[in-house]
Chains A and B, each alone.
Chain A
Amino acid sequence: MLKITNLQKKFGDFEAVSDINLEVEKGNFFSIIGPNGSGKTTIIKSILGLLTPEEGEITINGESIVDNPIKAKSKMGYIPDEPKIWNHITGEEFLYFIGALYGMKKEEVESKIPKLLDHFNLSGIEKKYFENYSRGNKQKFTILGALLHTPKLILVDEPIVGLDPDSAEKAMHLLSEFTKEGGTVFMATHTLQVAEEFSDKVGILHDGRLTETGSIDELRKKMGKEDASLIEIYHNFN
């Protein structure tokens, strides 16, 4: 589903990420973990086409994000770490906009919205402006926006920041359900417990380079400790 080959991205002389190679299969939940400034967001933004890599290739379901960005983007949904939306648009309108941008029909959007709103108990506030929402509610709408058009791949940057514990759990279960239905999730996070609970595979990023990738069991074997937690694995390979 997602293939990254020899990805390199620089900001001036600073090499943000380099020599990134990984493949995420359809239906997988892949988490990339690493300290602040290790390059997680840079990788996600490169996959989305928000940044143009210096070298390497990224394909989504066979479509190159550089050569064919519109087709590649139409297969993706994105949940950013900062849920900033146009201030004077309501939550409901935001979902309609997303639907329209991805070529959905009005009836299709209409039928999906009530179900989506129910996931986070957002019914009743969907007609208020975004500027009136709390950070958590803004985040919930961006999660729903990513799920609305049933993409093949969802990219998530710190999904539960700003969410209350119940909503965080719901958000993670929604993403988990999404993979069970054949979707793919690529998540960047600091929250190792979440990554450990939901991920099929993890990648450990350090100073812009992937130090290890694999399932948690595979990484435990490599580490030589069968009952190692992800925190221990993370410290071992970091």
Chain B
Amino acid sequence: MDNFIDYYIKKTKRYFKKNSKARIIVALLMIAAIALLSVSIFLLTRSGLESTQIGDDPFMPQAAPLYIYQIFLLIVGLLIFASTVIFTLFSFFNRDNLDHWIMATPRYDTLSWVKFFRALIDSSWPLIILAIPLLLAVKSVFEISFGLFLFTLLVVVAFSLFCSASAVVLIFLISSVMRKMKIKSFSILAFTIVAVTALLGAVAWSRTVAMDINQIFQIAEGDAATLDAMKSNFAVLPSHFPAMTLHYVQTEKIGAALMPGGLTFALFLAVVFLFSIIKKKFLYFWQVFQEGSFEAKAEREVKKSPLSGKKFPRTPEQVIFKKERLNSIRSPKNIFWFSFLFILMLVQVGVINLLERYVGIAGPEAVSGLTSAIQLGVIIFFTAALILRFIFPSFSQEGNTSWLIGSTPIDLKTIFNTKYLFYCLVLVPASILAVILYAVPLAGGSEALLLILFAVVGVLTLTMLGLSMGVVFVNFETDDPQKLSTSAPGIGFTLISLIYGGATAVIIDRILTLQNPLPIFFFLLLSFLIYKISKSKALRSLDDMEFV
């Protein structure tokens, strides 16, 4: 294990030795982007928690924060679980950099622990962006001591690790069953995992969105105002334990907090114990994956060429469009990431809706315009995340095949325009769907068209910005989307998108609140300028592009 830790430390040091200034700037920009998000979440949750403490009713100041903890931690858990599923499927058994480790180390099972811890660490981002800001907000609003804050932090960290470890164990368990049944199909593995994840999502859904909020809060006349209904509603979910810990700490019932806190630790340790048993099969799984019959590089045949029939491309645009389509839908990794980010967007928007439902219950007037604005901002933000993962790296990813696109009689501008069209056709409907599902019902039908217009313009603008920045800062040295999207230009794109998304939310809020249409023109002008400037820069870069 020491060797592996040493390896990762040296690897990190080596990373900063080359182009150290640029890489330090990238690291700082990443920290800034994460800090910006965390601070926003902190401010949002703090103001939410503060609003629960207003009024004379003694019940709501306890019930409402508990509801927020339950929803928030449930989302954190689901995000960590989904993130680990993706990591485990595509990195745990990755051949890159592993061959020599598997061959060289006499105790190859150490590698399974290393990968296990990496899965836990790599998937812990919701802890930093969502959970810790929530804890800080709780500390700030309820003035809990540093020691108790530390205790809640440890419990929430244990909960995060439990969610992550559960995902790894789940994949190992499914693989183990498949092994016994002599099934080696990656599709079956992926399908089963998606089905199990969907089942977990359905349980979460049944306990949140599908629940009558009046029943949870025991609003009905004659009901005694207790937390029992809420507790029994969320008790089946593992997020209930850290949520209850927070609740007891907030209400100064420290002794009571020990039980759910301890249970959270116990859950984590149980899953780790399970992993320590099941990991013995790691080498077998790894070998099967390397045979190419199980993992992402499964040997597959296309029975019928999709180029047959009327679909045979006749123009360069059609060829590139078809290529983009086939490469996208046939890459399990791309499909997983797209679904993951898209579902994440829906979940995030759903959470705001759930909180908005509480606002309606708790007393303050429902500020539907503001909620719609925040929803639109969230949709634009997640669209930007999709753009960063898929569109920003797309030109750089052509580096390996640059000989093909560069040597055939096709204009690079045609490729650029076709890529833009392709990605817009995917993202525009996705964003419209998100707006219709969530923002429109809140703002009412009259504002529907306006919100959809903003979403579509936002997507068209950011897609052009992402694609253009990918061309201007093209990097043919790697085709790894993770490396490309965490480069300085990638983070630059993230920051511009955050500012643009924030500005869009503010503008729509002004329009809906003040009933003043003037900001629409400002938004359209801003979007047009971003679109025009980025496109012209990209086309100029294409003129000078070389495929070294």
Q: Are B292 and A93 in contact (CB under 8 A)?
A: no
Contact A50 B546 (CB under 8 A): yes
Contact with A along B309-325 (1 / 0, CB 8 A): 00011101011001100
* One of A51, A87, A101, A132 near B546 (C-beta < 8 A): A51
**What chain B residues lie within 8 Å of A102 (beta carbons)?**
408-409
A80 to B399: give the CA distance in the assembly, Å: 13
Whether A49 and B407, one on each chain, are in contact in the complex, defined by CB atoms closer than 8 angstroms, is yes
Q: Given the complex of chains A and B, what is the CA–CA distance between A131 and B302 in angstroms?
A: 13
Contact B305 A84 (CB under 8 A): no
- Whether A74 lies near B323 (C-beta < 8 A) is no
Contact flags B9-29 to A (C-beta < 8 A → 1, else 0): 000000000000000000000
CB-based contact B401/A90 at 8 Å? no
Closest to B399 in A: A84
Q: Is the CB of A132 within 8 A of B326?
A: no
- Taken residue by residue from 33 to 72, chain A's Cβ proximity to chain B (1 for < 8 Å, 0 otherwise) reads as 0000000000001001111100000000000000001110
Give Cα A101–Cα B318 distance, bound, in whole angstroms: 9
Inter-chain CA distance A102–B404, complex, in Å, is: 12
CA distance A96 to B300 in the complex (A): 19
The residue from B302, B403, B547 contacting A127, defined by CB atoms under 8 A apart: B302
Q: In the complex, are the beta carbons of A101 and B316 less than 8 A apart?
A: yes
A195 at the interface (CB under 8 A from B): no
Given A50-B406, A101-B316, answer yes or no on A131-B297 (Cβ-Cβ < 8 Å).
yes
Contacts of A71 in B (CB 8 A): 409
A115 within 8 A of partner (CB): no
Cβ-based interface call for A120 (8 A): no
- CB of A90 within 8 A of CB of B409, answer no
Establish whether residues B307 and A50, one from each chain, have CB atoms under 8 Å apart when the complex forms.
no
State whether A100 touches B407 (Cβ < 8 A). no
Please give me the residue from chain B that is nearest to A132 by CB atom: B299
Closest beta carbon of chain B to A16's beta carbon, Å: 10
* A116: Cβ under 8 A from any B Cβ: no
* A48-B415 Cα distance, complex, nearest whole Å: 17
Binary flags per residue of A121-150, CB closer than 8 Å to B gives 1, else 0:
000000111011000000000000000000
Q: Among A73, A78, A106, A128, which residue has its beta carbon within 8 angstroms of that of B300?
A: A128
Question: Which residues on A sit within 8 Å (CB–CB) of B411?
Answer: 70
Residues of B within 8 A of A87 (CB): 327, 331
B305 touches A96 (CB 8 A): yes
Decide if B300 touches A48 in the complex (CB within 8 Å): no
Judged by a CB distance under 8 angstroms, whether B223 is at the interface is no
Q: Are B409 and A101 in contact (CB under 8 A)?
A: yes
B400 at the interface (CB under 8 A from A): yes
B318, chain A: closest CB distance, angstroms: 7
Q: Is the pair B299, A100 in contact by a Cβ cutoff of 8 Å?
A: no
Chain A interface SS verdict (over half): mixed
Of residues 404 through 424 on chain B, the ones whose CB sits less than 8 Å from some CB of chain A are: 404, 406-411
The answer to whether the Cβ of B486 comes within 8 Å of any Cβ in the partner chain is no
Q: A50 contacts B402, CB within 8 Å?
A: yes
Structural contact, A48 and B407, CB atoms closer than 8 A: yes
**Cβ-defined contact, B400 with A48, below 8 A:** no
In the complex, which of the residues B330, B546, B547 contacts A129, with contact meaning CB atoms closer than 8 Å?
A: B330
In the complex the two chains form, what is the Cα distance from A48 to B410 in whole Å? 12
Across the interface, do B299 and A128 meet the contact criterion of CB distance under 8 Å? yes
Interface centre among A82, A85, A90, by most chain B C-beta atoms within 10 angstroms, is A90
The reply on B306 being an interface residue by CB < 8 A is yes
Bound CA span A131–B332, Å:
13
Nearest Cβ on chain A to B156's Cβ, whole angstroms: 40
Nearest opposing residue in chain A for B306, CB measure: A93
Task: Report the bound CA distance from A124 to B380 in whole Å.
Answer: 47
- Say whether A50 contacts B403, CB under 8 Å: yes
State which of A52, A78, A80 has its C-beta within 8 Å of the C-beta of B544: A52
Nearest CB of chain A from residue B120's CB, rounded to whole Å: 29
- Taken together as a complex, chains A and B put the C-alpha atoms of A87 and B296 apart, in Å, by 11
Q: Which residues of A contact B318 (CB under 8 A)?
A: 100
In the complex the two chains form, what is the Cα distance from A76 to B409 in whole Å? 9
Instruction: Report how far A74 CA is from B410 CA in the complex, Å.
Output: 9
Cβ-defined contact, B327 with A132, below 8 A? no
Q: A71 to B303, alpha carbons, bound, how many Å? A: 35
Q: Choose one: B312, B326, B410; the contact of A101 (CB below 8 Å).
A: B410
Q: Contacts A73-B408, A98-B408, A100-B319; is A11 near B548 (CB within 8 Å)?
A: yes
Q: How far is the CA of A151 from the CA of B297 in the complex (A)?
A: 34
Q: Which of B326, B331, B547 is close to A45, meaning CB atoms less than 8 Å apart?
A: B547
User: Can you name the residue of chain A whose Cβ is closest to the Cβ of B402?
Assistant: A50
**When chains A and B are docked, how far (Å) is the Cα of A87 from the Cα of B548?**
21
- A208 and B393 CA atoms in complex are apart in Å by 34
| Docked-complex contact A101 and B319, CB < 8 angstroms | yes
Q: Contact between B313 and A100 (Cβ–Cβ < 8 Å)? A: yes
Q: Known contacts being A93-B302, A100-B313, A100-B318, is A86 close to B407, with CB within 8 Å?
A: no
| Inter-chain contacts of A173 with B (CB < 8 A) | none
- Chain B residue numbers with a CB within 8 Å of A51 are 546-548
Q: Is B301 an interface residue (CB 8 A)?
A: yes
Complex-state Cα separation, A78 to B406, whole angstroms = 10
In the complex, what residue of chain A is closest to B412 when comparing beta carbons? A69
Given contacts A52-B546, A93-B305, contact A88 B331 (CB under 8 A): yes
B60 to chain A, nearest CB (A): 54
Against B, the Cβ 8 Å flags (1 = close, 0 = not) of A96-114 are 1110111000100000000
Contact A50 B547 (CB under 8 A): yes
CB contacts (< 8 Å) of A89 on chain B: these are 323, 326-327
B319 touches which of A48, A97, A131 (Cβ 8 Å)? A97
Interface string of B275-319 (1 = CB under 8 A from A): 000000000000000001000010111110111000011101011
Contact A132 B319 (CB under 8 A): no
- Chain A residues, CB < 8 A from B403: 48, 50, 78, 80, 82, 84
How long is the Cα–Cα vector from A209 to B306 in the complex, in angstroms? 47
Q: Please give, as numbers and ranges, the residues of chain B lying within 8 Å of A76 by CB-CB distance.
A: 407
Taken together as a complex, chains A and B put the C-alpha atoms of A139 and B327 apart, in Å, by: 20
* Contacting residues, chain B, for A74 (C-beta < 8 A): 409
| Chain A CB within 10 A, most for which of B305, B318, B331, B404 | B404
Q: How far is the CB of A214 from chain B (nearest CB, A)?
A: 28
With both beta carbons as reference points, the residue of chain B lying nearest to A48 in the complex is identified as: B407
Instruction: For the complex, give the distance between the alpha carbons of A35 and B529 in Å.
Output: 51
Q: How far is the CB of A40 from chain B (nearest CB, A)?
A: 14
A residues whose Cβ falls under 8 Å from a Cβ of B: 11, 45, 48-52, 69-71, 73-74, 76, 78, 80, 82, 84-90, 92-93, 96-98, 100-102, 106, 127-129, 131-132
Interchain Cβ contacts under 8 Å between A and B, 11 examples? A51-B546, A76-B407, A85-B401, A88-B330, A93-B306, A93-B326, A96-B305, A97-B319, A100-B319, A127-B305, A129-B302
| Given A80-B403, A132-B299, 12 further pairs, Cβ under 8 A | A50-B402, A86-B323, A86-B401, A88-B326, A89-B326, A92-B305, A100-B314, A127-B305, A128-B299, A128-B301, A129-B302, A132-B292
- The list of the 8 closest CB pairs from A to B, nearest first, reads A88-B330, A74-B409, A50-B547, A73-B409, A106-B312, A84-B400, A80-B403, A78-B407
